[in-house]
Amino acid sequence: MQAPLPILITCLAFLTACTPAPRHDSAPETLNDINVIDAVDLNAVMLNAADPNEAVTYFARASTSRPERLDLRRGHALSLSRAKRFAEATPVWARVNAHPAAAAQDRLNWTDSLIRSGDWVQAKAVFAKVPQSDQSFARFRLAAILADHSQDWPEADGFYEKAAALTPTPAGIFNNWGYSKLTRRDFPEAQRLFTQAIRLDPDLFTAKNNLALARGAQGQYSLPVIPMTQTERAQLLHTLALAAIKRGDVETGKALLLQAIESHPRHFDAAVQSLRALEAGAASG
What is the CATH number for 102? 1.25.40
- In a shared domain, residues 144 and 98: no
Neighbours of 91 (CB within 10 A): 13
> What is the Cβ-side half-sphere exposure of residue 216, based on CA atoms within 13 angstroms?
25
- In a shared domain, residues 57 and 101: yes
Q: What is the per-residue pLDDT for 26?
A: 38
278 with 250: CB under 8 angstroms? yes
- In a shared domain, residues 242 and 274: yes
Range of the domain at 59: 48-117
pLDDT per position as a tens digit, 140-149: 999 999 999 9
- In a shared domain, residues 195 and 168: yes
- How far lies 248's CA from each of 208, 241, 255, 281, in Å? 23, 11, 13, 13
- In a shared domain, residues 148 and 211: yes
- Of 3-7, 139-143, 237-241, the range with the lowest mean pLDDT is 3-7
Domain membership of residue 175 (yes or no) is yes
- In a shared domain, residues 112 and 53: yes
Domain membership of residue 17 (yes or no) is no
Neighbours of 230 (CB within 10 A): 11
Last residue of a domain, one of 87, 117, 147: 117
Question: Is the predicted pLDDT of residue 33 greater than 80, yes or no?
Answer: no
Domain membership of residue 155 (yes or no) is yes
- In a shared domain, residues 148 and 90: no
Domain membership of residue 220 (yes or no) is no
Question: Is the predicted pLDDT of residue 30 greater than 50, yes or no?
Answer: no
Mean pLDDT of 64-82: 93
Mean pLDDT of 67-83: 93
Q: What is the per-residue pLDDT for 69?
A: 92
- In a shared domain, residues 159 and 194: yes
- In a shared domain, residues 205 and 243: no
Domain membership of residue 270 (yes or no) is yes
Rounded to two decimals, the pTM is 0.79
Domain membership of residue 43 (yes or no) is no
Q: How many structural domains is the chain composed of?
A: 3
User: CATH code at 206?
Assistant: 1.25.40.10
Question: Is the predicted pLDDT of residue 16 greater than 70, yes or no?
Answer: no
Last residue of a domain, one of 84, 117, 150: 117
Question: Is the predicted pLDDT of residue 5 greater than 80, yes or no?
Answer: no
3-state secondary structure string, the chain? CCCCHHHHHHHHHHHHHHCCCCCHHHHHHHHHHHHHHHHHHHHHHHHCCCCHHHHHHHHHHHHHHCCCCHHHHHHHHHHHHHCCCHHHHHHHHHHHHHCCCCCHHHHHHHHHHHHHHCCHHHHHHHHCCCCCCCCCHHHHHHHHHHHHHCCCHHHHHHHHHHHHHCCCCCHHHHHHHHHHHHHCCCHHHHHHHHHHHHHHCCCCHHHHHHHHHHHHHCCCCCCCCCCCCHHHHHHHHHHHHHHHHHCCCHHHHHHHHHHHHHHCCCCCHHHHHHHHHHHHHHHHC
Domain membership of residue 275 (yes or no) is yes
Question: Is the predicted pLDDT of residue 230 greater than 90, yes or no?
Answer: yes
CA-angle at 114, arms to 112 and 120, nearest 5°: 110
Q: What is the per-residue pLDDT for 284?
A: 63
Question: Is the predicted pLDDT of residue 248 greater than 50, yes or no?
Answer: yes
Q: Cβ contacts of residue 156 below 8 Å, gap of 6+?
A: 144, 147, 148, 177, 180
- In a shared domain, residues 203 and 252: no
Q: What is the percent of the chain with per-residue pLDDT over 70, rounded to a whole number?
A: 84
